[in-house]
Structure 1
C-alpha cells in the first residue's frame, strides 16, 4: 500500500469517536480482546455477552464517550444482522429440510453404495462437502457423525480413516465457502464480491480438503486406532418416512444456491456491463438471498412433498429450523458490533498506518490475526468477525480478487488448531469416544493442516491472479 493511497483513505474515513493515539488504541484493542477471551474461556460466558462487554471495554479504554460506543456497537450489530441474518436463516431452513426429508440419507446411501475399500475416505469427503454446503458445522456434525460411525462399523474400517475425511469436508466448507456465516460476515465487513469469493473458495477448498482429509487420515488412523463406539451409533432418522426424495432432485436442490451465485459471478466477468439486461437478471437471481430462497422453495417440492410432508407440516419444520440459530445470529451480530467499534474508534486506520511500514503481506497479516483470536477464544466465528473488523481497511484499494482472497485468508486462520476452548473439539471427542490426547492428535492436527494449507494456497493465488 502506497503512502498516497493511505492518505486518500484517511481523508475518506469518518472522524473517529476518540482522539486516542496509536499506543492507547493498541492497548484498547488488546484489552478488549483479552476481556472477550477471559469471559469466554475463564468464566464460560456466552460469546454474545463477551463480545458486547469487550466492545464496551475497548471503547472505554480508548477514551471514547460511552454513548458513542453504544451507538457504534448497535449500528454494527444491526447492519451485520441485516446483511447476513436472512441468509443464515434460509440456510438453516434448507438444512432442516434436507435432514428431515431423508434427502441427506439419500445422498449418503447412494454414494456409499458405489464406494468401498480405498475409495471410502474419498466418498466421505464428497458426502461431507455436498451435505455441508447448506449446513452449519455443528448441524453437519450431528447429521454426519452417525453415518460415519455406521460406515466404520459396517465396513470394519478404522474410525479415523472414515471420520477425518468427513470432518475435513465439513470444516473446509464452514471456513472457506459461503453461504456459511463466517465467510458471509467477512465478505460483508471487507466489501468483497460474494460470487468471486465463492469461486476462489471452492478452488482453495478442493486441494485443502484432499490433504487434510483422505491423505492425513492415513496417518491419523495409525496414531489413533479405535473402533466406532457402540453407544453412539443411533437408528437412522429417516427409516419411518414413507418415501425418500430422489438422489438427483436432492443434489440439485442442495447445489442450486451455489449454481446461481457462480452463474452471476461468471456473467459479471463475461458481460461486464451493469446496464446489460442479462447481467441485471443474473444480479438478481444470483444474489445470495434470492439463490437460497429459490433453493428453499424448490426444496418444498423436491424434498418435502416426495417424503410425504403435508402443507401443515412445513410451517412447524421452518419454526424448528430457526430456533437453534438464535445464538448464532446473536454472536454474528455482536461480532459486527465489535467490528464497528474497532472502526469507529480509529483502530482500522491505525492498522492501516502501521501495516504500511511492515514487511508483511496484508493476506498473511489477516491470517495471523485470525489465528491468534481463534487460539484465544476457540470460536472460528468470533475469530472471523474480529479479524475482519481489524483488517477491513486494508481491502479499500485491493482488486476484487484480492479482496476475496483476504476473506479466505481470514477464514483459513479462523480454523487453526481447535483445542479445549472450542465446542467442536468436545463434540468430536464425545461422538468418537476419544481421550483429549487422541482428539488433539487427530481433530486438532487436522484443523491446523486445513488452516496452513488453505492459507498457503491463498498466498500463492495472490501472486498469480
Structure 2
C-alpha cells in the first residue's frame, strides 16, 4: 500500500481498498469473501467514526463562520504569550480529552488548533502537538476511557486509584510529549497552516471582524463544552451506578453517547453560534452544507481503514500479530 501511494501516486482510499482485497486473497480468504469483509468493515467504521467526523466538521464550520472561533482564539492568544501558548493548548487538550474519545476531541478542536496557529504566528507543530498530547494522554491513561477500563477489569484494580494514578502519570507525559517535544518537532518539520476554517478576521482583518456581530465568549464556550459535559455525565454515571436501570441513568446514557452528544452540539451551535453570530437560516444552512465536501476524502480513507482492519480479522492475521 505504501508503494502504491508513494510510487504509483494512487489515492490512499484506492490503495487501502486494493491492499485489503489483495491481503484477503493472499491469505486464502477468497476474492468474494475478501470484498465482503472490506465492505463490512467500511460500513461499521462509517456508522460510528464517520458520523462523528461529519458532525465535527459541521460544528467546526459553524464555529468558524459565526465568529465564535475568532472569539475563542482571540481570548487564548490575547491571554497567552508565545512561550505559554503551547502549554495553554496542552491544558485545553487535556481538559477536553478527559471525558471525550481522542477522535471526537480532535474534530472538535481542529478549528481552534488551526486558527490559533494562524493567528499567533507560531508553527503548527507548536500548537497541534501539545493539544494532541493532552487528548491522547487522557484517552490512554485515565478512566473512563476504554483502555484503562479494560485494564481495571482484567487486573481487578481499584477504579478510583487507577484514575488518580492515571492523572499523575498523564501530567508529565503531556509535558514531555507536548510543549517540550513540540519545540524539537517544529525545528525538524515545517508544516504550513492549512487554508481551512478561514474566518472574517483572516479575510478582512481584525477591525472588520470586530465590527461584525459575533457570539459571546460564554455562548461559544457553552456550545463547545456541551458534548464534553454530556459525555462526562455519562462517564460518571457509568462509574457510580454501572448496572442501574433508573430513568436518570438511561437518560444520561442516551445523551452521553458520542453521536448524540455531537449531534446536540451541532443543534446548539446553530442557535448559540449561528443566530448568536447574526447568521440567518440561509447562512446557517449554507455553512453546514459547505462543511461536508472538504472531508469526503478523509471519510473514505477512514472507512477504508476500517475495511482493511476487518479483512485482517477475518483472515486471522490480526490474531497472529497479537500473539507474536
Q: Which residue of structure 2 aligns with residue 172 of structure 1?
A: 133
Q: Which residue of structure 2 aligns with residue 78 of structure 1?
A: 43
1:39 counterpart = 2:9? no
Deviation at 1:112, TM superposition (A): 3.0
Q: Which residue of structure 2 aligns with residue 64 of structure 1?
A: 29
Q: Which residue of structure 2 aligns with residue 265 of structure 1?
A: 235
1:254 counterpart = 2:224? yes
SS, match of residue 29 in structure 2: coil
The answer (yes or no) to whether the contact 1:125–1:165 under 8 Å persists in 2 is no
Deviation at 1:208, TM superposition (A): 3.6
TM-aligned CA distance change 1:125 to 1:272, over 3 Å = closer
SS, match of residue 236 in structure 1: helix
1:89 counterpart = 2:54? yes
How far apart in 1 are the matches of 2:297 and 2:48?
A: 17
How far apart in 1 are the matches of 2:108 and 2:72?
A: 18
How far apart in 2 are the matches of 1:107 and 1:95?
A: 12
Q: Which residue of structure 2 aligns with residue 280 of structure 1?
A: 250
SS, match of residue 42 in structure 2: helix
1:342 counterpart = 2:312? yes
TM-aligned CA distance change 1:299 to 1:58, over 3 Å = same
Choose the corresponding residue for 2:267, options 297, 304, 315: 297
How far apart in 2 are the matches of 1:62 and 1:282?
A: 44
Deviation at 1:118, TM superposition (A): 5.0
User: Tell me, which stretches of 5 or more residues in structure 2 are unaligned?
Assistant: 97-103, 140-144, 152-158, 194-198
Structure number with higher relative contact order (C-alpha < 8 Å, ≥ 6 residues apart) = 2
How far apart in 2 are the matches of 1:113 and 1:148?
A: 9
Which digits, 9 at most, give the CA deviation of each residue in 1:330-386, with x for residues without a partner? 11111111111111112123334x34xxxxxxxxxxxxxxxxxxxxxxxxxxxxxxx
Deviation at 1:75, TM superposition (A): 1.0
Deviation at 1:300, TM superposition (A): 1.4
Deviation at 1:265, TM superposition (A): 1.0
Q: Which residue of structure 1 aligns with residue 15 of structure 2?
A: 50
Q: Which residue of structure 2 aligns with residue 9 of structure 1?
A: none
SS, match of residue 202 in structure 2: coil
The answer (yes or no) to whether the contact 2:58–2:266 under 8 Å persists in 1 is yes
Q: Which residue of structure 1 aligns with residue 65 of structure 2?
A: 100
TM-aligned CA distance change 1:124 to 1:148, over 3 Å = farther
Which digits, 9 at most, give the CA deviation of each residue in 1:127-169, with x for residues without a partner? 67789935378756643331121xxxxxxxxx46xx5441223
Task: Name the count of aligned residue pairs.
Answer: 286
TM-score, length-scaled by structure 1: 0.54
User: Tell me, which stretches of 5 or more residues in structure 1 are unaligned?
Assistant: 1-35, 150-158, 179-185, 356-465
The answer (yes or no) to whether the contact 1:125–1:169 under 8 Å persists in 2 is yes
Alignment of 1:173-188 (within 5 A): none
Deviation at 1:206, TM superposition (A): 5.1
Which digits, 9 at most, give the CA deviation of each residue in 1:304-345, with x for residues without a partner? 112110011111111111111111111111111111111111
The answer (yes or no) to whether the contact 1:95–1:135 under 8 Å persists in 2 is yes
1:111 counterpart = 2:76? yes
TM-aligned CA distance change 1:40 to 1:267, over 3 Å = same
How far apart in 2 are the matches of 1:64 and 1:220?
A: 42
How far apart in 2 are the matches of 1:136 and 1:312?
A: 23
The answer (yes or no) to whether the contact 2:126–2:183 under 8 Å persists in 1 is no
TM-aligned CA distance change 1:337 to 1:102, over 3 Å = same
TM-aligned CA distance change 1:129 to 1:271, over 3 Å = closer
SS, match of residue 8 in structure 2: coil
Which digits, 9 at most, give the CA deviation of each residue in 1:245-297, with x for residues without a partner? 11121112112112211210110110122422221111101001110011111
